[in-house]
Amino acid sequence: MKKVAYLRKEKEIVEIDYPLGEIWAAIPKALTSLEWTAEQLDDAAHQVKAKTKAGFMSYASVLLITAVAVDEKTARVTVTAETPVTTITSVVDFGRTRDRIELFFEALAKQLTSHENTG
């Protein structure tokens, strides 16, 4: 059987009721809590390219995370994730890219609420 590779891509956009500065400060902490790596960080564009850890029978995903201000108290966070998939890993990996996006937003929410409780 021949192995064929392709990218599985998912995207999610979420508006969060926190100022851009607080969200931007929480993003690297959320990545660290997940043990994911920030490969590129652009403070001016509020953009991060991060890499997840590979799992059993699955490749790591690459996430492009962008934060933009909607107004003073709200920001929009866009996460685009790509995961290389082969014909062999596609069944095991199904839904993993979306799960990783959800894990990121959960970790971000924890960082924001823990900051709120300590601040």
pLDDT tens, 24-41?
Answer: 999 999 999 999 999 999
Extents of the domains making up the chain: 5-118
pTM attached to this predicted model:
0.86
Quick: pLDDT tens for 44-74: 999 999 999 887 767 789 999 999 999 999 9
Q: What's the pLDDT at 54?
A: 83
Q: What's the pLDDT at 103?
A: 95
- From CA 100, how far away is CA 94, in angstroms rounded? 12
Tell me what the pLDDT averaged over the chain comes to: 87
Largest CA distance in the chain: 57
What is the CATH T-level fold of the domain 5-118, as seen in this structure? Answer: Alpha-D-Glucose-1,6-Bisphosphate; Chain A, domain 4 (3.30.530)
Does the pLDDT at position 4 exceed 90?
A: no
